[in-house]
Amino acid sequence: MTNQHLISRRRLIRSAGAAAGLASIPFISAHGQSKLRPVTMRLAWLFQGPNVGFIVARDKGFYEQAGLDVTIGPGKGSGSTAQLVATKDTQFGFVDGYVLGNSVSKGMNITMVGAVYRRNPTAVVVLEESNIKSAKDLEGKTVGIPTGAAQFQQWPAYVKGCGLDSSKVRVVSIDAAGSPPALITGKVQGIAGFAQGYVPSVEIRGDKKVRILWYTDCGVTAVSNGIAVHNDLLKEDPELIRAFTAASLKGFLYGRKHPDEMVVIVKKYSDATDVRITRREAELSWDTWVTPNTAGKPLGWMSDKDWAATVDVLKKYGGVTTPLEAAQLYTNDFVPTGAEYVPPQTGKARS
């Protein structure tokens, strides 16, 4: 297969927000490289800014340099990707830590081997033009949250941490695709979800400025997306995990250092993407790379304190009743230690 033919296959998404079309989206691969080891990887969602590191690693040849031919497939959410890892239908998955913890509590035999979004990306997004300046101002307002989603499960923790009177905030169920339009049109005064997923659509497609009220500012700590594998792979092929993790993290770091090139790469793989939205998605994702407990550590490295806090939220608000410990959910054994893997610290670490 020629490179031109390969790139033509990467024009994958004709409707960027259409989850229903995922089944028809082909995978990114590099068939024909006979000396490379075939590897399967599944994203949490579409080929977009939050997933950009894997796409960059593939496009820049970082996987090839590690001896890997990585096939990257789109996902249908962290829950679905976690299931694929647990059933060994994919070797690697990009999975939210809160979802991973919930999945392990239900018997899934999976582990996170490198966290990219180490800080909780969940937030309540409001319009800047509104009179909502802080979380307390949500009282008397309506907030849209997809029922059953992580942000819905974490909502009681946010309410408690912010000192809100829950009886004074009306919560309605709106799916992720409908949330930005609902905010823009005034159907709701706030929407709760991953900031990098909501904010770009409101700002760029809706031409509205926003204010972000982070869950973490009210003490809701939860490790977010990272690389997950089946526990059997930990024992059977640790060198594969080490090689894949290092190359993937290199992709995220390269994309952050070269944002103009990064958005062009994503556009190459997904022609329907808007480069402005891709860049904004990535920028907001960078806000979640560093926590106080991971400051100065390589990208991928995880803190037991952050995972313990995640487990605490899961037990108090996520419906987890089975025994669950932070140590069951992650390992730092495969995170590269070189200084070149330490991400920028200033202006991005948040409490």
Average pLDDT over residues 166-195: 94
Cβ neighbors of 207 (< 8 A, separation 6 or more) are none
- pLDDT of res. 16: 34
pLDDT above 60 for 77: yes
Helices 238-257 and 52-59: crossing angle in degrees, nearest 10, is: 100
Specify whether the CB–CB gap between 226 and 111 falls below 8 A: no
- Produce one character per residue of 30-45: b if its CB has 16 or more CB atoms within 10 Å, e if not: beeeeebeebbbbbbb
Residue 1 pLDDT class (50, 70, 90 cuts): very low
pLDDT above 70 for 6: no
Q: Which among 162, 208, 171 is positioned nearest to 193, based on CA atoms?
A: 171
- pLDDT of res. 301: 98
pLDDT above 90 for 210: yes
- Produce one character per residue of 98-126: b if its CB has 16 or more CB atoms within 10 Å, e if not: bbbbbbbbeebebbbbbbbbbbbbbbbbb
Q: How many CB atoms are closer than 10 A to CB 94?
A: 26
Residue 34 pLDDT class (50, 70, 90 cuts): low
pLDDT above 70 for 26: no
Calculate the average pLDDT of the chain: 87
Q: What is the pTM of this model?
A: 0.84
- pLDDT of res. 29: 54
Cβ neighbors of 163 (< 8 A, separation 6 or more) are 136
Q: Alpha-carbon torsion 48, 115, 83, 192, what sign?
A: negative
Residue 28 pLDDT class (50, 70, 90 cuts): low
Residue 347 pLDDT class (50, 70, 90 cuts): very low
Percent of residues, the chain, with pLDDT higher than 90: 72
Residue 62, helix vs strand vs coil:
helix
Cβ neighbors of 180 (< 8 A, separation 6 or more) are 191, 198, 201, 202, 205, 206
Greater model confidence, 26 or 162: 162
Beta bridge partners of 214: 123
Residue 348, helix vs strand vs coil:
coil
Average pLDDT over residues 272-299: 92
Q: How many CB atoms are closer than 10 A to CB 311?
A: 25
Residue 30 pLDDT class (50, 70, 90 cuts): low
Specify whether the CB–CB gap between 344 and 256 falls below 8 A: yes
Specify whether the CB–CB gap between 164 and 135 falls below 8 A: yes
